[in-house]
Copies of this chain bind each other. A is one copy, B any other.
Amino acid sequence: MKESWSSVDTLETNFRPLVVIELAKGTKEETIEWFTKRIVDKKANGGAQLLIKPLVTENGNENIYLVGASHLRLLLGAENVGLVKECNDNSMRAFTYSSRKTFKDFADDNQNFLTMSECQYIIKHELENLRAKDEKMIPGYPQAKLYPGKSIVRRLLTNGILVQIFPLHDREELKKLRHTWYGQVKIGYQPLDEIRCYFGETIALYFGFLEYFTFALIPMAVIGIPYYVFAWEDYDKYVMFATFNLLWSTVILEVWKRICAVMTYRWGTLLMKRQFEEPRPGFHGVLGINPVTGREEPVYSSIKRQLRIYFVSVPFVCLCLYFSLYVMMIYFDLEQWALDYHEENKSHFSSLMLYVPSIIYAVVIEIMNRIYRYAAEFLTSWENHRLESSYQNHLILKVLVFNFLNCFASLFYIAFVLFDMKLLRQSLATLLITSQILNQFAESLLPYWLQKRHMKKMKERMHSLKMDTDLSLVEQVNSEKEMGTYLGTFDDYLELFLQFGYVSLFSCVYPLAAVFAVLNNITEIYSDALKMCRVYKRPFAEPTANIGVWQLAFETMSVISVVTNCILIGMSPQVNALFPDSKMDLILTVALVEHLLLAIKFVMAFVIPDKPRDIQIKLAKLEFESLEALKQQMFTESYSYLCDDMREQ
C-alpha cells in the first residue's frame, strides 16, 4: 500500500491520506488559508485538529487537498460519532476512548481497529461539524454569509467554493473485495461484512436486501415453473399459487426485518444513537432561534411548508398522475387505430405501423419519467424541508407514486378494463424483460464502458508527459475525482420495488415472472457490484439500521397485490364456471377471501417479532446494564445523603 503514497510520505511519515477536498479553481488565497487553518486548528480553538496536505501534481497545486488524521484523533472521533464496536465479551458497545482496552482487537499500535471507511466517515463528520465562530462571512467571499454555529463546509459547498469532498479508494483492499465479491465464478453468498467494511452499512444493506430478496423469490420461481411447463390452467392450482405468493410475500418482508436486525446488530448500527440532525444544505429561511437547540439558525414556518405540500405539491402530483393516465389512454387508442389500419390494408408498411404506438409510448414514458423526476426534486426542495431525511422521504414518496402508475397503469387497464388475460400476460412479460435488460445496460454496462474509455485517454495523456517520479497517488486522485458520484441507493431500491410489483401484483397470471426476477437479480448483483467498484467514486459510509421507507413501500405493494390477485382469480373463466348461476355469489366469495387474506396478513405481521429473540435479549441486557449503572450511581449518592440524615436525627 505504502508505495502509492510515496509523494506524501516524503513530507511526513505517519500521514495517511483518507479524504480528498477539491476547491474551485481560482479560489482566493485568503480563503484557502483560513479554511486549512480551521481544519488543522486545535479542538479547543474550534478547529477540527485534522491533518491536511496539498496534492502536488505536474501542473503544480491544483487546489486539491488530502485530509488525514492521527490515530488518536480518529479514535476520539469514533467516540464522538457514537461508533459501536464489539467488546472482548462479544457484546456490542459504544466505543469510548477511556474504555478502549475492553474492545476486541484494540491495541494502541493497531491501526486497523477502525476500518478505512469508518475513518473516512469520522473525518467527514468532523469536517461537517467545523462551525463558524464569530465570522460573519467566508473570508474573501462577502456574499457567503456565516453565523455562529453554521457548518463551514456546507456553506462552502452551497457557494461552489468547495467542489467536492470524497473518500479515497484503497486499491489493495478494493482488489481483494472485487475478487471475493465477483471475481470468482462461484455460487455463494456475497461477502456482506467485507462490503460493509469497505462501503459502509447503507450499501451493504442494499446488497444484503438484494441477495435476500433473490433467495426469497426462488420458492416462487420453483413453484411457478411447472405452471408454465405443463400449462396448468386449473382453478385450484392457481388459487393455491396465488395464496402461497401472498402469504409468502408477507413472511419474507417480516423475516427480512429480523435478518436486517441480526446484520445491523453485528455491524453495530442497530445500537447507534441517533445524532441530532443538522438542517440540510439547501434549507433556507429567516435567521431565528431553533426552539430545540436554542441556537441561531435559519427558521422556516412549518405551516408554510404544509401549505406548500398540500396546496402545490399534492395537486401537482395528482395532475401528473392524471396526465400520465391520459397519455396511456391515447396509447391504447393509437394501438387500436394501428390494428384497424393493419386489418384494412395488410401491407408491409401497416405491419410495421403496429409497432409504432408501443415505441412512441415507451419514449414518452421515459421522457415523462425524467421530467417528473426533475419536477419532484424541484418541488421537494422548494417545500424547504429542514432535515435531509424528511426531504428524502417526501421525494421517495412522490417518485414512487408516479413510477408505480407509469409502470402498472397499462397493466391494470388491460386486466380490469379490457379483461384480456392473454394480452396481460404478454405485456407483463415484455415490460418485465425489456425493463430489466435496459436497466442493466443503462445502469452499469454503459457507464463502465464510458469510464474505461475515459481512463484509457487519461492514461495516454499521462504517459505522454513522461514523468519519472512515482505519480500513483496523484494518478489515483486525478482519476477518482473524474469518476461519477454514486447518488445513493434510491434508484436501485426503486428498480427492486418495481420488480416486486411485476412479480406479485399479477403473480397468478404469469407465474414465470419470479423466474425472470431471480435471473435478473443474480446478474444485477454482479453489475451493481461492478458499478460500485469500478464506475463510481467511493461513497462515504453511511451508518444505518434498516432500509427505512422502502420496508413500508414493499409492504404496501404486498397489500395491493392481495387485492389484484383476488380480482384476477375471481375473473378467471375456471372460477366463473364454478358459479354458473350467480355472479353475485362469485363476487361475494372473492371479497370474503380477500378480506380474510388481508386479515391473515396483518395478524402475521403482528405476530412475527421484528427482532429475533437473541437480539432482543442482547438489547434488553444493554438497557438493563445502563439502568443498573444509573441505579448504582444513585444508590451511592443517596446512601451518603441517608447517612447524613441518620447522623442528624
Contacts and interface: CB of A to CB of B under 8 A. Distances in A.
B79 A617 contact: no
5 contacts: A49-B642, A292-B617, A292-B621, A293-B621, A294-B621
A72 interface: yes
Given A587-B587, A588-B587, A639 B292 contact: no
What number of copies of this chain does the assembly contain? 2
Given A292-B620, A591-B587, A617-B292, A43 B97 contact: no
Given A43-B639, A276-B627, 17 more contacts: A42-B646, A43-B635, A43-B642, A44-B643, A72-B642, A72-B645, A73-B642, A76-B641, A97-B637, A291-B617, A292-B621, A293-B621, A293-B624, A302-B613, A584-B587, A587-B587, A587-B588
B638 A80 contact: yes
Interface string A445-470: 00000000000000000000000000
A642 B74 CA distance: 11
A70 interface: yes
B637 A276 contact: no
Contacts of A73: 642, 645
Contacts of A291: 617, 621
A435 B413 CA distance: 51
A175 interface: no
A639 B591 contact: no
A76 B613 contact: no
Q: How large is the interface on A (under 10, 10 to 19, 20 to 34, 35 or more residues)?
A: 35 or more
A44 B646 CA distance: 12
A634 interface: yes
Nearest to A644: B72
Contacts of A588: 587
Contacts of A557: none
A101 interface: no
Contacts of A620: 292
Contacts of A627: 273, 275-276
Nearest to A614: B291
Contacts of A293: 621, 624
A621 to B, nearest CB: 5
Interface in A37-59: 42-44, 49
Nearest to A582: B583
A98 interface: yes
What are the nearest 6 A-B pairs in CB distance? A76-B638, A292-B620, A587-B587, A292-B621, A583-B584, A291-B617
A631 interface: yes
A318 to B, nearest CB: 14
Interface in A459-503: none
Interface in A309-351: none
A631 B645 CA distance: 35
A275 B302 CA distance: 35
A638 B97 contact: yes
Interface in A615-629: 617, 620-621, 623-624, 627
Contacts of A79: 634, 638
A83 to B, nearest CB: 12
A627 B643 CA distance: 33
A563 interface: yes
Given A72-B645, A621-B291, A637 B43 contact: no
Interface in A549-578: 563
A295 to B, nearest CB: 10
Nearest to A643: B44
A634 B99 CA distance: 12
A136 interface: no
Contacts of A294: 621
A532 B293 CA distance: 44
Given A292-B617, A587-B591, A591-B591, A80 B631 contact: yes
B637 A98 contact: yes
Interface in A262-309: 273, 275-276, 291-294, 302
A595 interface: yes
